[in-house]
Amino acid sequence: MKHREGRAFISTIFLEKFWRENPVLIKGLALTPVIAAASTLKAGVVLAVVLAVITIPTSILMNLVGKKSTEWLRPVMAAVLSGLLLIPCMLVLKQIAPNIILQLGVFLPILIINSLTVYEAAEYAPDRSLVQTSISSVAGTLGIAAVIVIIAAAREMLGNAEIGGVYLPWSNKAPILSTPFGGLIFLAFLSAGLRGIFLFIKGRKVHKAVNSIPDTDQKACKEKSDQINKNKVNMITETTKDISGEKDSNDTGNHISDIEPVWDDKNPDCENSSHAESQVDEEEAQS
């Protein structure tokens, strides 16, 4: 039983950090490497690996050491730790792919103080358990790495008509996609796509929950809401006439479309529908 609970706990944190609260697509952290540096697949893979090597150990070390330090010292410790971890990365890269160091320029050292590392290591890690910190940093880094690699590959394919040095069958190139403009546009659409999926899933759940309410209750609730809407319109029309002193004028400037719909959770008469939505939210939170 305990084993199952532990697995559920781990998968919850992992999914939360990787998917529902993706550091780049939802939280907007570590945008610099994604929009500015990840313009080719090779660069994207190198950035993702270096980010993982820097962020995961820094978070774990900060979890162990950060608890004992004062709050103002934590960012300093995180930055120095990640700086020291960059040294072996640079040494290995210097041996394996010296060109990539030149290609990335200042963007490789900048990874030391990227907002994910600083946030994870200085703010999140010291206040959590070691397991929680480890899973969170691994999931967060994987979340960023996936985005970096996807965007880098897409930019290289469309911007340079090649992928990993292999030329693609089309000759149309859009070099502008290799600039920060392209990175921002790709990121915006990827982020909107993820949010769209969340909205679709939530919408389906709400639809299912509302459909599970008996028809008679739904009808009664709809009638009540229509009545309230009608009263609201009349009240606003009267008030406007009183204020403007144009009681005889037909157009008051107020239209039904200007008024908020009553079929929402603020209306106490529609307890069933609001209850269904809140139930879905609770279920989502639990899952």
Partner 1 sequence: MNFISDNLLLALGWILTQNIVLNKGIGMEFVISASRRKIDLPLVAGLISVLSLLSALLCYPLSLLLNAGEMSIVITPVCYIIILMGIYTVSHIGLSRFAPEFREYLGSRLPFAVFNSVVFAVPLMNNEISRDLLSSAFFAVCTGVGFLLAASLISLSTEWESKADVPDAFKGMPARLVYIAMIVLAFMGISGGIT
Task: Report the interface residues with partner 1, using CB under 8 A.
Answer: 25-26, 28-32, 35-36, 72, 75-76, 79-80, 83-84, 86-87, 90-91, 94, 101, 105-107, 109-110, 112-115, 118, 122, 176, 179-181, 183-185, 187-189, 191-193, 195-196, 199
Minimum distance from residue 113 beta carbon to partner 1 (Å): 5
Q: Which long-range contacts (CB under 8 A, 24 or more apart) does 204-207 make?
A: 205/280, 205/283, 205/284, 206/276, 206/277, 206/280
Estimate to the nearest angstrom the gap between the alpha carbon of 30 and the chain centroid: 12
Minimum distance from residue 237 beta carbon to partner 1 (Å): 26
State which residue, 9 or 181, has the beta carbon closest to partner 1.
181
E strand spans, the chain: 162-163, 166-167
State which residue, 165 or 193, has the beta carbon closest to partner 1.
193
Minimum distance from residue 155 beta carbon to partner 1 (Å): 12
Q: Which of 137, 121, 57 is nearest to 89 (CA)?
A: 57
State which residue, 8 or 73, has the beta carbon closest to partner 1.
73
Minimum distance from residue 216 beta carbon to partner 1 (Å): 31
State which residue, 106 or 243, has the beta carbon closest to partner 1.
106
Q: Which amino acid is at 49?
A: V
State which residue, 40 or 221, has the beta carbon closest to partner 1.
40
How far apart (Å, rounded) are the C-alpha atoms in residues 49 and 68? 30
180-211 vs 130-160: helix crossing angle, rounded to 10:
120
Minimum distance from residue 76 beta carbon to partner 1 (Å): 5
Contact by Cβ (8 Å): 54, 89: yes
Estimate to the nearest angstrom the gap between the alpha carbon of 122 and the chain centroid: 20
Contact by Cβ (8 Å): 123, 71: no
How far apart (Å, rounded) are the C-alpha atoms in residues 199 and 201? 5
Minimum distance from residue 220 beta carbon to partner 1 (Å): 29
State which residue, 35 or 41, has the beta carbon closest to partner 1.
35
State which residue, 30 or 52, has the beta carbon closest to partner 1.
30
Contact by Cβ (8 Å): 151, 133: no
DSSP annotation string for 130-155: HHHHHHHHHHHHHHHHHHHHHHHHHH
Minimum distance from residue 196 beta carbon to partner 1 (Å): 4
Minimum distance from residue 58 beta carbon to partner 1 (Å): 12
State which residue, 182 or 273, has the beta carbon closest to partner 1.
182
